[in-house]
Amino acid sequence: MEVMRAKQIAETGEIIPVMYEGKQVFIQHVDEERKMARIYLKERSEEEMEVPVRLLQERN
């Protein structure tokens, strides 16, 4: 995924399906300079992690 798209998804109030390693996640924040996203798994909202934006995939 591109950084700008990840940022759009994070800033929208809508739920947009995004996958990381085969699991649905929510994007909380995108660091444009570092190209990293703070995410959490749909089923484990208490477990946040930071991952490279390029590893995120938007589901259509």
Q: Does the pLDDT of residue 13 top 80, yes or no?
A: no
pTM for this prediction:
0.87
Determine what percent of the chain is predicted with pLDDT higher than 70: 100
DSSP helix/strand/coil, 12: coil
Amino acid at residue number 21: E
CA angle, 44 then 50 then 52, to 5°: 125
Say whether pLDDT at 15 is over 90.
no
**pLDDT value at residue 38:** 96
Place of tokens 């929208």: 12
Q: Do residues 48 and 38 lie in contact, with contact meaning Cβ atoms separated by under 8 Å? A: yes
Q: What is the pLDDT of residue 5?
A: 97
Task: Give me 20's structure tokens.
Answer: 């990381």
